[in-house]
Amino acid sequence: MVNSKRIVALTLAAGMLLPVFSAPLTANAKTTYLPSAVRSHRWYQLTDGSQGGFHNKTTFKGNHMTVGHSHWSLTGLKKHSKSTYYGKLHYSKSYSQLIKVKINSSKSFWFIPKHVEGTKGNYKGNADYGAMIFKR
Helix (H) or strand (E) holding 133, with range, is strand 132-135
DSSP SS3 for 45: strand
pLDDT tens for the chain, 136 residues: list them.
557 777 776 666 666 665 555 555 554 557 789 999 899 999 998 876 666 667 889 999 999 999 989 999 999 999 999 999 999 999 999 999 999 999 999 999 999 999 888 778 888 888 888 888 899 9
Rounded to whole angstroms, the Cα distance separating 133 from 34 reads: 15
User: Nearest to residue 86, comparing CAs of 121, 122, 41?
Assistant: 122
pLDDT of residue 123: 87
pLDDT of residue 128: 82
pTM of the model: 0.73
From residue 131, give the alpha-carbon distance in Å to each of 108, 110, 126: 12, 6, 5
pLDDT of residue 5: 72
